[in-house]
Amino acid sequence: MIFKDYVFYVLAAILLAAGLRVITARNPVHAALYLVLAFFTAAGIWLLLEAEFLAIALVLVYVGAVMVLFLFVVMMLDINLDRLREGFWKALPIALPLGVVMVIEMSMILGVKTFGVDQVSAPTPHATGYSNTAELGRQLYTDYLLPFELAAVILLVAIVAAIALTLRDRKDSKFIDPADQVKVKRADRIRIVMMQADVEEKSVPADVADKKEGA
Amino acid sequence: MDAIYYDLATALPEIFVLCMAMFILLLDLFLKPNNRFLIHVLAQFTLIGAAFITISTYTPSVSYAFNNMFVDDPFSDVIKVMMYLSTFTMLVYTRSYIKLRGMFRGEFYALVLFALLGMMIMVSGQHFLTLYMGLELLSLSLYALVALDRDNPRATEAAIKYFVLGALASGMLLYGMSMFYGVTGSLNISDVTQALLVGVPSHAVMVLGLVFVVAGLAFKLGAVPFQMWIPDVYHGSPTAVTIFIGTVTKLAAFAFVIRLLIQGLFVLAGDWQGMLIIMAVLSIAIGNITAIAQTNIKRMLAYSTISHIGFLLYGLMSASMNGYISSTFYIVSYTMMTLAGFGVILLLSRHGFEAENLSDLKGLNQRSPWYAFLMLIVMFSMAGVPPTLGFYAKFTVLQAALQAGFVWLVVYAVLMAAIGAFYYLRVVKLMYFDDVEDKSPIVAPFSMRLVLSINALALLVVGLMPQPLMNICAYAISRSLQ
């Protein structure tokens, strides 16, 4: 085994352990942190595959942005853990054997026998000057132009859907449009009316007079 | 440089729909509320324009574009024209419904057009990635459409259910596709077929991937045992969206199955045939038997959809050219029937009242003999009573299955169809033999009454003369699938 193999096995072991902890951790914040670790380790494995752009994108986008956002949401929501785990032990006697059987069945098909080194030839290493980023960019804008444009449309639909579902004028909203505010003229607010002068009578009611004296 | 012009010309209908959807989205911002009808007119214009482009650029040959990721063949043209037509009909039916429920906004039309674009891509995809992108575009638009009636908790619940289960199905589909990629080294449908013909290192991995892909497809079609979402989503969505999910998207899901299973994985037919048989048998039984117990007409039509999907699978599982042709015919006739069925439900709904219980149809004959007659045709057609379209569709599908040697399965399907006839005929009984409870007059715009009448009468006319439609389906399939 060469050095690269050792690196792979260490990273793979960490990835598996972190992935396992994501679903077994009791605290959702811990689970999210383990997910960060899993992404970070997966990025390391991609680096070994000479896919450096994807590795860095994974760290920047998933670890840096998506997971931080996710952590915020998890911390802000008051998740009732006991209710989430309700029925876990009741379902376990059935779920566990079923899961084990599925894992065994799949490992019978997906193993060294089918995806081993002797079945699938190892990818040829790239030349020294090869740039993964440049190649990705070239592919994206030539061969994969159509899916790329479709991804853009999907993002547009996501924006439209998010706004259509959440933006609303609430009846109890105290929001005032500043544009309307500055356009207001005096005539809109004050109405000047001509009226007869009211001549006040000189006599003061008794209780008011009493109060005045008391003060 | 010429290559890109060629690519763009091949995808011209898609480009047109996309541009118009974005234009509608922008125009909606500048329109005053009483000019909103323009949006409706523009959306209808988009569909007519797209149909015009698709028909005028029609060629009997198969042309590939965008580095073999996109295909324009007679099959895709036929299905696309059917999709424009059904979307057009659906927009006519839903106009007054969405107006009365505060959904008459630009977003509704833009999302419908985006969903249509996704479906067009699904029909024309020639690469797993393109197909998946089309599917996601459709699904995302549909989730939003279901939830668009925001203050209705039932619609929100339906949207969440649809979203979670839809994401699960997409995950399964992707997992299966990744297996294919692992074995064949390509995501392109023709390359995968080529690799399968030459021989792959591991057949077992392909079958494992196939299991996941079939599960994902069955979810999108709504075949048992992946049907759980259908009744809830049909029931919870606003009827204007239910009609869309129940008709046009089923056309797209069918084309998706044709592209993936028939075109891409034909070599594995021996493996998927068994899976389809199990799903067909279960779908027909569960769909027809559970529908009997429903009191809500939308739920009843949902279970009826499941049983229709079972019949559709009868054609596909035959794995013969005849089977595919009869399935194409079946899905087209299913779309026409379901459009008319939901059209009548939309017609009976009015301001502050949702017609969704079977009892709402009581004595429809006394309220309006004409609409009762139209609904009678629809119900007879769904049950498969001759001489309606539904009878001929069931007949051809079962004939194809018989030719493929599934004698007992055909006998079983006929028995199940007889059981299913019970709940369709119950609707007829309610309309003609029960006393009217709800005496309010039926009001609908002229366009809706006209299109609904044409739609329902077409079931009778095409049922009497099915040959032209059959010829179109046969031509499309035989030209596109070699």
| Ranges of H-type helices in B31-73 | 37-56
C-alpha A149/C-alpha A145 separation (Å) is: 6
How far does A112 lie from chain B, in Å, by closest CA?
12
Res. A205: pLDDT tops 70: no
Closest CA to B79 of B130, B124, B19, B45: B124
C-alpha A17/C-alpha A34 separation (Å) is: 9
Write out the residues of chain B at the interface with chain A, using a CB-CB cutoff of 8 A.
Answer: 7, 11, 18, 22, 25, 66-67, 69-70, 105, 107, 110-111, 114, 117, 121, 127, 129-130, 133-134, 136-137, 140-141, 143-144, 147-148, 150, 182-183, 201-202, 204-205, 208
- Are residues B434 and B362 in contact, defined by beta-carbon separation less than 8 angstroms? yes
Chain A CA closest to residue B202 = A114
Please answer yes or no on whether B205 and A110 come within 8 Å at the CB atom.
Answer: yes
Q: Under 8 Å CB-to-CB from B171, ≥6 apart: which residues?
A: none
H or E element in which residue A44 lies: helix A28-48
Look at phi and psi of residue B61 and say left if phi exceeds 0, alpha if psi is from -120 to 50, else beta. Answer: beta
pLDDT means per 10 residues, chain B with 482 residues, are 80 95 92 87 95 92 89 93 96 91 88 96 94 95 92 91 94 93 88 87 85 93 90 93 94 94 89 93 94 92 95 92 94 95 91 84 88 94 91 94 93 93 92 85 88 94 93 91 74
Domain ranges of chain B: 268-482
User: Model-level pTM?
Assistant: 0.89
Q: Under 8 Å CB-to-CB from A77, ≥6 apart: which residues?
A: none
User: What's residue B248's pLDDT?
Assistant: 94
Please answer yes or no on whether B140 and A150 come within 8 Å at the CB atom.
Answer: no
The pLDDT-based confidence of A79 (bands split at 50, 70, 90) is confident
Please answer yes or no on whether B130 and A147 come within 8 Å at the CB atom.
Answer: yes
Closest CA to B275 of B339, B328, B332, B225: B225
What b-and-e string marks burial along B445-468, b requiring 16 or more CB atoms within 10 Å of the CB?
eeebbebbbebbebbeebbeebee
C-alpha A213/C-alpha A197 separation (Å) is: 29
Please answer yes or no on whether A151 and B133 come within 8 Å at the CB atom.
Answer: yes
Name B65's bridge partners.
B70
Query: What count of CB pairs under 8 Å joins A to B?
Result: 81
Is residue A80 less than 8 Å (CB to CB) from chain B?
no
Average pLDDT, chain A: 84
